[in-house]
Structure 1
Amino acid sequence: MYIYLLFVHIISAITAMAAVICYPLIMSSARTTGQAKFALALLEKTAILPKLGGTLLLLTGLALGFLETSLFKELWYLLSIVIFLVILVIFAGLIPAGIKQQLTLLQKTQGDNLPDAYRQSRRRSAWLEVIANLAAFIVILLMVFKP
C-alpha cells in the first residue's frame, strides 16, 4: 500500500508544482491589456491543478505518515507539512483572489496600456508566487534529502 500511496503522492506533486512554477512564466509575458486578460483567464482555468494536486499531495503525505508513524517524529516531515500548508493557502486562496481583482481592473480598462492599479496588484501576486515557489523548493529539498 505504501508504494502506491507514494506513487500518487509523486504524481500529485508533479501536477501541483508544474502549475505553480508556470504561473510567473505565463504572467511575465503579458505586455498589453489583451495579453493580460488572456493570461489571467488561462490561470483561472488551470487554477484547479494546484488545488486538486495540492490537496491530494497533502492527503497522501499524511497517509504515508500514518502508515509510517515514525515520520511524525521527523522534523523534515513536520516542516514539510507546515510549509506546504502555507503554499496551499497562497495558491488556493490568495492568488485566485488576486486574479479576480486583476481581471476586474482590466475589464474597466480602455485601450492596450496596462493600468497602474493592475501593475500593483500583479506585483503583489508576483511576490506571492515567488514566496510559494521558494517554499516549494524548500519542501522538495526536505523530502529528497531528509535532513
Structure 2
Amino acid sequence: MEKKGHSQIRGHNMYIYLLFIHIIAAVTAIGAIICYPLIMSSARTVGQAKFALVLLQKTANLPKIGGILLFLTGLALGFLETDLFHELWYLISIAIFLIILVILAGLHPACIKQQLTLLLQTQGDDLPDAYRLIRRRSAWLEGIANLAAFISILLMVFKPF
C-alpha cells in the first residue's frame, strides 16, 4: 500500500474545502432562484407586487454572490482535477451556468426594474395589463433559470457523460 505524501493530503483537503464552498454557494444561489416565482405568484395587488419586487431586488445579490462563488469554485475544482475539463457534463454545466448568469445578472433585473417603474406610476390597486405582460416575460426567464439550475444539478450529481 502506497503512503500519501503531505502535498497529496493537502491537495485532497483543498478539494474537499472547495467542494464544500461550491455546495454552499449552489444552495445560496439556487435557493434564491427557486423562490423568485413563488414570491411573485402571490402578488395580487399593486401594493403586494411592489413589495414582492422590492424583496426580489434585495435578494438579487444572493444568486449573484452564490453564482460567482459557484463559478470560481467550480473552475478551481477543475484545475485541481484537470480531467474534469475533458468531461462533457462538466463543460455543459459551465455553459448552463453562463446562461443562468445572463438571465439573472442582465435580463431579469431589467424586467424587475420595468415592473417596479410601471407600478410606481399606477393609480389604484389593480395590476395593469402592461405589468402582467412584463411579469409574464420575467416569469418565463425565471422558469428558464430554474430549469437550467435543475439540469445543472442533475449533471453534477449523476455525471451522465
TM category (shorter chain) comes to over 0.9
The residue that corresponds to 1:62 in the other structure is 75
Q: TM-score, normalised by structure 2?
A: 0.91
Larger Rg: 2
The alignment's TM-score, normalised by the length of structure 1, stands at 0.99
Task: Map residues 1-147 of structure 1 onto 2, 5 A cutoff.
Answer: 1-147=14-160
For the residue of structure 1 that corresponds to 2:28, the secondary structure is helix
Q: Root-mean-square deviation (CA), in Å?
A: 0.4
Instruction: Give how far 1:98 is off.
Output: 0.5
**3-state SS, counterpart of residue 127 of structure 2:** coil
CA positional deviation for 1:75: 0.2
Residue 89 of structure 1, CA deviation: 1.0
Can you list the C-alpha shifts for 1:12-54, whole angstroms capped at 9, x where unaligned?
A: 0000000000000000000000000000000000000000000
SS at match of 1:110: coil
Number of aligned positions between the proteins: 147
The separation in 2 between residues aligned to 1:21 and 1:109, in whole angstroms, is 28
Gap regions ≥5 residues in structure 1: none
Following the alignment from structure 2 to structure 1, what is the Cα–Cα distance between the partners of residues 103 and 41? 19
Q: Secondary structure at the match of 1:30?
A: coil
Structure 1 ranges of 4+ moved more than 6 A: none
Q: Secondary structure at the match of 1:31?
A: coil
Distance across 2 between alignment mates of 1:100 and 1:112? 19
| Displacement after TM superposition at 1:93 (Å) | 1.1
Once the two structures are aligned, what percentage of the paired residues are identical? 81
